[in-house]
Chain A
């Protein structure tokens, strides 16, 4: 009875907080069904038209396609580079360890506007033309540290005895890595790749400094915001949201099923 206040106040508060968190998402969804004209500011009636003809305005879809391309390529590179660093940090002892940790921490502690302006001034002084390539180069840079952090957690929880057992059974280092270490690391690597893609896909600030005239989806939204955003942008935002939430829910339910099966067995 001592915590009776928390019994009702806290759940109620949490429900209110969740409503607050979800309001803009619901708004974006609702207005993706708006029978709007050029701008999407007032409700003019329900329609599926924007969902069925997303690409009527070519610009939205070109920007969306660019964002996917940039996300995929930078994720591949950031994940490969970051996984190597993560394995080295957990599994090996070497000098300059703390300097390496600092170098990885700094990009995460630097405001995006500084990262963006820094790269842009480097491209400027080297005379590099900005475009999709420079966006990808920038995205690999800021996703790298997040990949290291995510994969590191997984490497640390890996039992080294498994690799030792492999070596005892005369597996060569390559076999040990590809047959034991890599498959066990895969969930961590997959999580890091998803995080990296999400970061890249949603990034605006760093992209804006290094994009030149090329469009990404967030940059399209920023440019269109001044003159009014078409409902097609809401469609793409809502579709990406639904897909991402489904992936997260599926992995959670999958994990829960596995957990229950394990507890039943033991």
Chain B
């Protein structure tokens, strides 16, 4: 690697003090910024999550305390939302993986003879990034709105009852979550599959492995780094998302996720301790899940 070549340079090691100054000058401003605007907010979040209401009873005012009970309260109060967040995120991540894998395989393996076509298809994959997240979600809402031909047709053929609709159901929320995060899944899958050596597949086929076996024993294991980073890149933002599940977009009160409860507690009813406790829980749960997942799949160097 380029780094190894440079670090063997004696000059650098001979003047450690000078290098030290340069490194500090390069690192300090950015790291200090993250310290002030990323780390201390997390500490602020933990502190607020332990606060109690102002004893004088002023609405929306809280005083510093060490009320662990806030956590017990939010867990019992919002248990369905917690379960919903993680189950929606799990389902949507799996759906995104199933939809993206063949597409990434086509772009990364089958389309190799045409590099320009590969690039164009990759542009199409990331095209949704260029239109506002909210606009594309609203577009789906209107496509599946109660008066749309899709819904009326579904009602006519009896798939939906006469007063059953699509918007506001868990199906619609998971559909929107899957759609919105497909690029995050397809790109890392593509990066892995693009490096796949086709000769391994040919060797497998020559040794009388069925296409299914070639996929199970060769293609999929070799694309595992892409699968891991793709699933992480989709699961984490989905678990915290509250656009798709919100009542103004694809959801209803029955589909509210953790993100919706955090937003409502923080911005509408000014219950800052509950919002903060829920945020800390969400972050903690995700960190634990991600660490376990990465450890189990044995790809720690990926981070």
Which residues of A pack against B, CB within 8 Å?
2-3, 5-6, 10-11, 13-14, 17-18, 20-25, 27-28, 31, 41-42, 81-82, 84-85, 87-88, 90-94, 100, 103-107, 109-115, 117-122, 124-125, 137-138, 140-141, 144, 148, 156-161, 164, 198, 202, 204-205, 208-209, 217-218, 221-222, 225-226, 229, 233-234, 237-238, 240-241, 244-245, 248-249, 252, 256
Contact = CB atoms under 8 A, between A and B. Distances in A.
B37 A140 contact: yes
Interface in B11-46: 12, 19-20, 22-23, 25-27, 29-31, 33-34, 37-42, 44-45
A18 B143 CA distance: 17
Contact of A125 (B48, B110, B131): B48
From A10, A42, A105, residue with most partner B Cβ within 10 Å: A10
B31 A21 contact: no
Contact of B132 (A138, A217, A226): A217
Given A28-B135, A109-B287, A119-B37, A114 B110 contact: no
26 contacts: A2-B205, A10-B105, A11-B106, A20-B179, A24-B137, A82-B30, A84-B25, A85-B27, A104-B34, A111-B241, A113-B263, A114-B262, A115-B41, A117-B279, A121-B41, A121-B266, A122-B40, A204-B243, A208-B267, A209-B263, A218-B132, A218-B133, A221-B138, A222-B134, A245-B127, A248-B123
Contacts of B275: 117, 121
A118 B3 contact: no
Given A17-B103, A81-B30, 7 more contacts: A21-B179, A24-B143, A25-B139, A94-B27, A113-B240, A234-B135, A240-B131
A252 to B, nearest CB: 5
B248 A222 contact: yes
Given A88-B23, A198-B129, A13 B106 contact: yes
A114 B49 CA distance: 12
Secondary structure of the B contact surface, majority rule: helix
Contacts of A208: 263, 267
A196 to B, nearest CB: 13
A18 B282 CA distance: 33
Interface string B241-273: 111000011000000001100110011000010
Contacts of B128: 21, 24-25
Interface of B: 1-3, 5-7, 9, 12, 19-20, 22-23, 25-27, 29-31, 33-34, 37-42, 44-45, 47-48, 99, 102-103, 105-107, 110, 115-116, 119-121, 123-140, 142-143, 145, 147, 179, 182, 205, 211, 232, 236-237, 239-243, 248-249, 258-259, 262-263, 266-267, 272, 275-276, 279-280, 282-283, 286-287, 290, 303
Nearest to B176: A24
- Please provide the 9 A-B residue pairs with the shortest distance between their CB atoms, ordered closest to farther: A111-B240, A118-B41, A24-B139, A81-B30, A88-B26, A244-B130, A24-B136, A84-B26, A160-B6
Nearest to B258: A113
Contacts of B272: 121, 124
Secondary structure of the A contact surface, majority rule: helix
A62 to B, nearest CB: 16
